[in-house]
Amino acid sequence: MNRQVSLVIRYILSVVLVTAMVSAAVIFNEQEIIFPEIAALAVGAFIADKMPWKVNRTGMFILMTLSSWMGYAMSVYLTVPLFVKIVIAFAVCIIALSYARSTMLPMISAAVLPLLTNVQSMVYPFSVMLLTACVIVIRLILQKTGVLPKTELSDEKPDTKADLIRRIWLITIFTAVAAAAVCSGMIFIIAPPLAVFFAEAAERNSPVKKDPFRFFLCTILCAFAGTATRAVLIDLFRVNIIPAAAVAAAVSIFFLILFKKPFPPAAALAILPFILPETDIAVYPFQVTTGCAVFVSLDMLYQKAWDKGIPMRIYNAVASFIRSIQIIQPEKIQPDTVKQTDDTEHTSASPDSNDGELLIPSIPDGNDIPVSESIHEEAADDDSLSFAVPGLIENTQPSEEIIENENTDEIREASALNNEHQQNAAADTDTVRSDEKIPEDDTENTQKESAFSSSERAVMGMFDRVKAMFPQKKKASSDKPKERSGVSNNVRTRL
């Protein structure tokens, strides 16, 4: 099909859809049926060869439906200031789009509009659902008939860090502008289509970045065209709202064709005056112009800062600061976790250094704690304290009974017995070592004594004891005396 013919058909369908929406509102006497963002959906889905939003048909319907119901619920049930409602709705939509990895930004208008117009009827969300379904069906028909070319969704990989920074920027700046708008009473500075305009201008590949002045001029002309149509045809000449809305839609599409910029939010700004009170018509276009100028200026400022890497440096600095914050909680030393050890080098201590008190090893902080003090203090706090004191003799009272009695005197007595045992053991060790110094001749003498009588054995025993009392003389003797002792032994054997 000829492109010029297909474009005319798509333009007419866009105007017809808007006219049908307004006609339904007049027939059913329900102003909530009028959803200005439907003009933006028509421009993006019918007039543009490639839909400017990254979303499929199902995603478009779900996102628009959820956002409209959220806006209605917040308008009816949420009892907070208007500024808070608007900021929450905007932030939730940005987060939802990030989670869905979509750019269906008109859902912002569906969530914010009922808050500004104070919608109290469920007709609004059902109207959004029905109108969105109509856009999807008409677009599908146009693609099937060849009037509209089939396009695929962009497979552009998202830049996670850049997208996160941009979302933070969007929410922060919109919050500041919304606060100024509500406080000053210039509420249309943050008109729902302008919120969509700001979000679309902040996209990485947004056409607004290439020619912001042209988009700015096209947007404010559409806002003035819709306001003039409403003021002249309806308020002045008392024309029915249906033809007046059709004229406003046609004029806005004409400006989009003239500037060769099929920018959806501009068309929505032309339909919004038809649901505003008559008292707000005079200030509406000027406030929209102010808001559009603010958002374009802030977007240009952000783009220059991004080119210099300022947002990324701020993000990295904040992220590094957050990662550097570490809350260190000191580990609590639990008495029942003290491990037993058989290493006598750490379990015992000299009586002179600690007044006879046994030291407990393997304390986590590396400090030795006396048994008599540590057990007494810990037992006073926890009756279930139980541990073994290595190094005590077998007859000493077990550590469990010591802890149950919680008697410091008994612990000291056990430590004293342990020290006494160690001293006795050391004395026995010295005795054994002295016995080892007895000459090896004792074994031969023992065998020889069996051949003598008991009196002779007694004499020989005394002789051996006297001989053992002088070990140094034996070591110091030369080889010659050893031969003589050998001779004497032979003589004694013969006898």
Q: Which domain holds residue 229?
A: 3-150+160-322
- Among 322, 354, 388, the domain-final residue is 322
Of the CA atoms within 13 Å of residue 71, those in its CB half-sphere come to 31
Quick check: is 481 in a domain? yes
Q: Please classify residue 23 by burial: count the beta carbons closer than 10 Å to its beta carbon, then call 0-12 exposed, 13-18 middle and 19+ buried.
A: middle
Q: How much is the pLDDT for 325?
A: 80
| pLDDT value for 468 | 66
> Do both 355 and 485 map to the same domain?
no
Higher pLDDT, 212 or 413: 212
In this structure, are 16 and 103 located in the same domain? yes
pLDDT digits (tens, 9 = 90+) for 15-38: 999 999 999 999 999 999 999 999
Query: Could you give the number of structural domains in the chain?
Result: 3
Q: Are 410 and 485 part of one and the same domain? A: no
Q: Decide if 336 is inside a domain.
A: no
pLDDT, tens digit, 9 for 90 and up, residues 375-433: 444 444 444 444 444 443 444 444 444 444 445 566 666 667 666 666 666 665 555 45
Per-residue model confidence (pLDDT) at position 3? 79
Give the C-alpha separation, 391 to 417, whole Å. Answer: 11
Q: Which residue has the higher pLDDT, 216 or 462?
A: 216
Do 110 and 126 reside in the same domain of the chain? yes
The DSSP annotation for 16-83 comes to HHHHHHHHHHHHHT-GGG--THHHHHHIIIIISSS-SS---HHHHHHHHHHHHHHHHHHHHH--S-HH
| Residue 206 binned pLDDT confidence (cut-offs 50, 70, 90) | confident
Instruction: For residue 331, tell me if it sits in a domain.
Output: no
420, part of any domain: yes
Residue that terminates a domain, selected from 392, 420, 435: 435
The residue ranking higher by pLDDT, 302 or 376, is 302
Do 354 and 476 lie in one domain? The reply is no
